[in-house]
Every structure is written in structure tokens, then in C-alpha cells.
Structure 1
Amino acid sequence: MTDPVTWAPRRGAASAVLLTRLAAEHGMPAARCLAGTGLTRADLADPEAEISAGQELALIANLVGALGHVPGLGLRAGARYHPTTFGLLGLAAISSPTLGTAVDTGMRYFDLTYAFSPWTAERTTGALRSVIDDRAIRASYGEEVARFLAERDLAAVATFVRDLAGPEVRLDDVRFRHARPSYAALYETVLGVRPSFGRTVTCGTISALTLSATLPQADPTTAELSRRHCERQLRARRSAHPGGVLAARVRADLRRRLEAGAGIAGQAETAARLGLSERSLRRRLRSENVAYSELLAEATSAAARAMLATGRTVESVAAALGYSGTSSFTYAFKRWTGTTPGAYSRAAASVSITAAPTPPATAAASVSASVSASVSARATASGRARR
């Protein structure tokens, strides 16, 4: 059975940049987009930056919450996802010999895309149908976010296909789970085909004849080199951030709980929220080479640093995270960061005083990043001195 959530632990920031620009065009400032994501505008300005899937989902939830009244917001977003948006994966697709090969490459390196739900490829007589399973997104983020992502992802596919094979090439059939909206005409404009609504699944179909179309920029050397780079990029991300599908779900669940002020979650409680037994959760995380305790420490450390960066006392942060006292929290914080929470708070205060004015929504993340860099530099200098 296909897991209803699938995303790599990390992804490029290009999609977040694109969505932030879309929001700005509709009068939504970047600070509001990034609120609660842990991201800053500096993060998005770095072309090599990687962010978590949870951070991009938080950004999307902000976007939909503020601009949900804009007709076809997801369609408008998806129309901006050109092959270049996907970096090396886009280059691998552009240089493929046929559209079908490009599609196969995209499915092979699916973790380098910006999707959040699994796509199941179903090959039928004369066609390829890709079905999106967005059950987990609907359950965790609601129907509005799920509809935005369905619109975005299928509009991105339609845009990708046209960019690769020519403006006259299009999907043969598109279906959506959600009901027909008042702006249904916009779907045909963006997708190039009139979709149907209220179906049992969300999916897109493309004929075998269309898939056989040769691509104008095909180059076997470039295609092979790009695929090798994609393999290396995947390996690097997975080794730097252990875990897979389930680990990403646990990370997102822990982050949401801590941001809501609900404190640290035990393994049994998290397993129940994810619809698993504690034993299954432990076993499946082990198969992804990560332990629940590692994910919990990662999420708690990030939440603690963010709260301390806003000026909260060590006592209040310890209580918010569910620690019985400051001593146990201090011990854990020093194990995570190499410094005490008090020292971290003082460093955060000095950074806040000397830094240029920062929008409130991004201040905590910006200060946290600066303090972490400062603490790291001091630790390195101290180590050198001892040597």
C-alpha cells in the first residue's frame, strides 16, 4: 500500500521563492508568508539553500489562509513552475530524447520535486495516468490547502510538458476530486484541457503518442550527466538528513505540536496521531536509519532556540517544552548546542540590539540563525585554543 505522505526530508528553496513572489504580487508581504516557518528572506536569497518540506507547507498554509479568495491561486502558482525551477532535474528532462523519457526521469527522481503527496503511475493501453493520493494533506492541512496543491501540481505538469515539447502539446485528461469552482474556465486556460470535477481521484493522463514526441533540445551526454548529478544530490540530502517518508511525517507532527505549545510528545502519542502502533513506528523509523529520540531532539532544539531568540526566559521555555525544571532543560540544551540556554539568550539579546530592524514574523528565525552561527564560531575558536 502506498504511504499517503511522501517527501524528502529536504528540498531546494526555489518553490518557496516562487510562492513568496506570487504572494507579493497580491499584496502579501514576505514576513507574513514566512511567519512560523523558521525561514528568513536571507534563506530564500541563497540559491543553494535547502529547506524542509514542513517549512514549505507552513508557507503554503499562510498563503492559502491570506489569499484563498484569489480565484485559481494554485493554478496561477503552478503555471510558474518551469523546468528551470527544478534545477538539475529540469536539465535532465530538457535534454531527454522524448517526453516519455523526461516523465520517467521525473518519477525516478521524484524526491527532487516539490510535491507533498505520492503520485502513482498507472500505465494503461495507449496512455499513462498519474494519480495523486492527497489523503494525508487533507487530513493534516485541510481541503483548501489540498485543493491549492492539486491545482498547483497539475498546472505545473501542464506547464512543464509545454515547455519541453512545445505549446501545442498538452495533457489528454485531467480530473479533480474537489467540486467544480466558480472559476472553472481558468482551469482550461492554464491546463490546455477542460478538466472534470467531483471525481473519485485527482489525476492527469497523457497519451502514449504524446509521450513519444521527441524533444528539441535532446542531448544524451547532458542527460546522462544531469542524471548523475541528480543521484548525487539525492544521496547527499538523505545522508545529511536521515530518514525517509515516515521520518518526515514525524518531524512535521512534532513541529506542529511544539509550535502550538503542546509540549514534548512521547513516542506512543505520536504513533497514535499518525495512525500507527508504537511498535510499528519504532520498526519503520529503524528501517529509515533514524530513531524517534533523534527526531524529538531535533524538533525540541529548534523550538527552544526560536523561543529563546524572542527574549523568553529560560524558565518559561523549559515549562513550554514540558521539562520539569530548568536544570534538566539546561542539560539537554547544552547537549544539543554546546552552550547553555542562558548564554544563548544573552547572545540573542546582543544580536537583536546590533541588528537592523527586522519584521516581527521573521525576527526570531533571523536572530536564532545569527546566534547559532556565533555560538558555533566561539566553539570552534575554543577548540583551536585548546589544541
Structure 2
Amino acid sequence: MLELPRPASPATRRPDFPRGVGSTVLLVEYAASRGLAQEAALRGSGLTAADLADPDRQVTAEQELRVVRNLLVLVPREEQAAAGREVGRRYHVSTFGIFGFALLSSPTVLDAVDVALRFWDLSFAFALPEAHLEGDAVVFSLSTTGVPADVQPFVLARDAAAVETVLDELLPGEPAPRFEPGTHRLPLPAAYLSRALPQGNPGTLAVCRAMCEDVVMARRARSGLAQRVRVLVTQRVAAGAAMEAVASDLGMSGRTLRRRLAEEGTSYQALLDEVRESLALEMLGTGRLPVEDVALRLGYAEASSFIHAFRRWRGTTPAAHQRALREAGDPA
């Protein structure tokens, strides 16, 4: 009897999770193929060419949707689903980073479905996954819950085409199931789910899943408005990440942002400190950046202000932290 995967830590049930910039890059490239310049594709999103060039950059769901809307200005409503399918076929397994490697290293298709359900918020999808048993098949479907009506035809078609493209790449050279015409239901028969994947490796999968867990735990540590603020602060931190600028990105005043964050039990300064501390540890850990450069990249006017803040966060100075890392890594 086929057993439906039941993830211990189910992926988010809302589409407003932060996502990597890779999807936005593909959207901008597609827009360019239709004659829309990069600047026009990014207009109103708060994103820049530098953001697109940073593979580690995260964006908010609203920022990606702004790019989608800019693109759809060029596409008549009746053609938007077709455009979505065309874009969706550009999303390959490699597009999804460690999440994609986890899919590839799954021993069977069923294992890959389990990975997808567990870590859907490491994808770029707005349509949310659902799965249930029907006889000896798992029916995988996509829901538009939470997806704005004006972008639904494009988004749903894009995400469905991306799923089909990934299935093609998991078992290359073999026909993969397709979404039923006129629906967003994808029946996956037991015989197909039990197929071994050519790159399946339980050991590699375990490593990839652990890495996926680390990423999603960090992203899920904050939710709601606080989560969106952290992403925007990360994008603006080098310029100081002024609260009024981030509030403007969110379409609200600084006072409203302060009040709503207080309702979530946090503050703008606390989120700014979280981002700066996390980035500081990452940059200092490379061993390649002097303290002064780290301070500049974190938006501090003077290194002394960064040193004071770091001592408050970690109880030591940045230089001492770097020395401790070097000594820990020195076999002598």
C-alpha cells in the first residue's frame, strides 16, 4: 500500500515567503526577450541590477510579484497563461540550488515528492502544493490560495510548467506525468513514484536535506511582517537600511511599521541588529575581510560603531572573533 509522505516540518501554507533572486533573474531575462528593459522590469520593486547579480540575495514575494506585473503589461490577459508556461520551462533543477540537489539525490520519485513537500518554501512558487491519495496514485495539485487574482493565470501556469520540467529532468529520456488539461491536478501513479532516480543516493540526500533544514529554519525563524522586513533590510544594509526607506518599500509610514512590528513582539532596531550580526559573522568567517570593510558593508559610518555593536552582540570584538576562528582552524 502506497504511503503518502507526511513531512515532519510542513512547508509554509502561504505564498509570501522570502525566495532567492534566481526566479526574478529569469523573469527579467524573459521580459528582455519581449523588449522590456531591465530597468523597466524592476521598476517599483526596490531591486537593482546589483541585486540580480548577487546569487545569495533574497527577495520578498511582493518584489517578485512587482516584476511579474511589470512583465504582464506587455502580455494580453488571454496570453498570460501561455507566457507563464514559457517562463516555467526555464526553471531547471539547478535553478533551485540545494533544494534542487536534494530532489536529484532522492532515491525514488516518491522521495523527491517528499522533499518537495517538506521544503516548498525553498522554491520560487506562488502556487501552493497539495497531495492526497486516490487509489494507487498520489495526486499532486497546485492551489492559488493567497495568490493575487491579477497574476493568477501567469503564476499558476509558470509553476505547473516548472514542476513538469523538473520531473523531466529527474528521469531524463522518459515521459513524465503531466497536469490534467484544464486543471492543476498531477496524478502520479504508484509505478512512477517507485521509479529509482539515476542520481539517487541516500547519503547525499541526507546531507542535502540537512542543508535544506538549516536554510528553512533560518527563514522560518521570523514570519509575517518581520520576515519581510529582514529581507528588505538585508538588501539595504550597506546603505544604512533607514527605517523610513524600508517602510516606504512596504507601502506604509515609519510609524505604522513601528507599531506593527511591536504587535509581532519585535522592533525595527532588533531586526536590523539580527541582520547585521548574521552578516557580520558570515563575513568575518571568511577570513578575507578586514574589520573596517565589514563595518562599511554593514552600513556603519565608522568601524568603532561596528566594534561596539559586535561586542554587545557577542561579548567580544570582531578582531578577537576572527583570531579565535583562525586558531580553531589551525591544526598546529
Length-normalised TM-score, structure 1:
0.58
Q: Which residue of 1 aligns with 2:159?
A: 153
Deviation at 1:169, TM superposition (A): 2.5
Secondary structure at 1:128's aligned position in 2?
A: strand
> In structure 2, how many angstroms separate the alpha carbons of the residues matched to 1:231 and 1:206?
26
Q: How does 1:240-279 map to 2 (within 5 A)?
A: 242-243=222-223, 263=253
Q: 1:3 to 1:142 in 2, by over 3 A?
A: farther
Which of 212, 217, 221 pairs up with 1:235? 217
> In structure 1, how many angstroms separate the alpha carbons of the residues matched to 2:300 and 2:253?
30
Q: 1:382 to 1:119 in 2, by over 3 A?
A: closer
Corresponding position: 1:65 with 2:108: no
Q: Which residue of 2 aligns with 1:128?
A: 138
Which of 300, 303, 310 pairs up with 1:380? 303
Q: Which residue of 2 aligns with 1:74?
A: 84
| 1:108-151 per-position Cα deviation (integer Å, ceiling 9, x unaligned) | 111111122422111211211123221432xxx324x1011110
Length-normalised TM-score, structure 2:
0.67
> In structure 2, how many angstroms separate the alpha carbons of the residues matched to 1:86 and 1:385?
38
What amino acid sits opposite 2:152 in the alignment?
A
Q: Which residue of 1 aligns with 2:4?
A: none
Which of 165, 168, 185 pairs up with 1:162? 168
Q: 1:209 to 1:251 in 2, by over 3 A?
A: same
Which of 41, 44, 63 pairs up with 1:36? 44
Q: Which residue of 1 aligns with 2:29?
A: 21
Contact conserved, 1:126 with 1:208, CA < 8 A, in 2?
Answer: yes
Q: Which residue of 2 aligns with 1:111?
A: 121
Q: How does 1:69-218 map to 2 (within 5 A)?
A: 72-137=82-147, 141-143=148-150, 145-174=151-180, 195=181, 197=182, 202-218=184-200
Deviation at 1:260, TM superposition (A): 9.3
Unaligned runs of at least 5 residues, structure 2: 1-9, 232-244, 274-294, 312-332
> In structure 2, how many angstroms separate the alpha carbons of the residues matched to 1:384 and 1:205?
57
Unaligned runs of at least 5 residues, structure 1: 175-194, 271-289, 299-333, 339-371
Which of 281, 287, 292 pairs up with 2:263? 292
Deviation at 1:43, TM superposition (A): 0.7
Identity %, equivalent residues: 32
Secondary structure at 1:214's aligned position in 2?
A: coil
> In structure 1, how many angstroms separate the alpha carbons of the residues matched to 2:109 and 2:99?
14
Q: Which residue of 2 aligns with 1:225?
A: 207
> In structure 2, how many angstroms separate the alpha carbons of the residues matched to 1:154 and 1:56?
17
What amino acid sits opposite 2:21 in the alignment?
A
Number of matched pairs:
264
Q: 1:150 to 1:89 in 2, by over 3 A?
A: same
Deviation at 1:106, TM superposition (A): 0.9
| 1:154-180 per-position Cα deviation (integer Å, ceiling 9, x unaligned) | 101110000001243322542xxxxxx
> In structure 2, how many angstroms separate the alpha carbons of the residues matched to 1:118 and 1:81?
17
Contact conserved, 2:230 with 2:271, CA < 8 A, in 1?
Answer: no
> In structure 1, how many angstroms separate the alpha carbons of the residues matched to 2:56 and 2:264?
29
Taking only aligned residues, the RMSD between alpha carbons, in angstroms, comes to 3.8
Secondary structure at 2:84's aligned position in 1?
A: helix
Contact conserved, 2:129 with 2:140, CA < 8 A, in 1?
Answer: yes
Deviation at 1:291, TM superposition (A): 4.7
Contact conserved, 1:96 with 1:223, CA < 8 A, in 2?
Answer: yes
Contact conserved, 1:5 with 1:136, CA < 8 A, in 2?
Answer: no
| 1:278-332 per-position Cα deviation (integer Å, ceiling 9, x unaligned) | xxxxxxxxxxxx753668x65xxxxxxxxxxxxxxxxxxxxxxxxxxxxxxxxxx
> In structure 1, how many angstroms separate the alpha carbons of the residues matched to 2:156 and 2:51?
26
Contact conserved, 1:4 with 1:136, CA < 8 A, in 2?
Answer: no
Deviation at 1:93, TM superposition (A): 0.8
Secondary structure at 1:123's aligned position in 2?
A: strand
Q: Which residue of 1 aligns with 2:237?
A: none
Q: 1:233 to 1:166 in 2, by over 3 A?
A: same
Q: 1:384 to 1:133 in 2, by over 3 A?
A: closer
> In structure 2, how many angstroms separate the alpha carbons of the residues matched to 1:22 and 1:149?
14
What amino acid sits opposite 2:212 in the alignment?
C
Deviation at 1:265, TM superposition (A): 8.6
Q: 1:15 to 1:79 in 2, by over 3 A?
A: same
Contact conserved, 2:11 with 2:120, CA < 8 A, in 1?
Answer: no
> In structure 1, how many angstroms separate the alpha carbons of the residues matched to 2:95 and 2:198?
19
Deviation at 1:380, TM superposition (A): 3.4
Q: Which residue of 2 aligns with 1:55?
A: 63
